Amino acid sequence: MAVEAIGSADASTNTARTEFQRVQLKLAEDLAAKAAEKVAAKDKAILTRSETDSLQQRQASGNTGADVGRIGSALDLVI
């Protein structure tokens, strides 16, 4: 990881301290955004897998009437 010099070399100055805090906050925001993206991706994968499993179970049991009913209802809303 590269280290970048920011502000004054004297860490006791307010400017250097403020700039360091700004960089820390930016890094924390970036990490939080990346973590949120990972959580959303996992949630989407779980939801997709769950929906796929449910569809396969309905197809295997021959109970596709619910699917047809939902499609009909959706078409009624469009018409």
What is the reported pLDDT for 40?
94
Separation between Cα atoms, residue 8 and residue 13, nearest integer Å: 7
* Per-chain mean pLDDT for the chain: 77
What is the reported pLDDT for 59?
84
Q: Please check the confidence at residue 77 and state whether its pLDDT lies above 60.
A: no
Q: Please write the tens of the pLDDT for every residue from 35-69.
A: 999 999 999 999 999 998 888 888 888 765 555 55
28 pLDDT band, cuts 50/70/90, is: very high
What is the reported pLDDT for 21?
94
Domain ranges of the chain: 14-78
Q: Please check the confidence at residue 75 and state whether its pLDDT lies above 70.
A: no
DSSP 8-class letter at 9: S
Tokens of 54: 């449910």
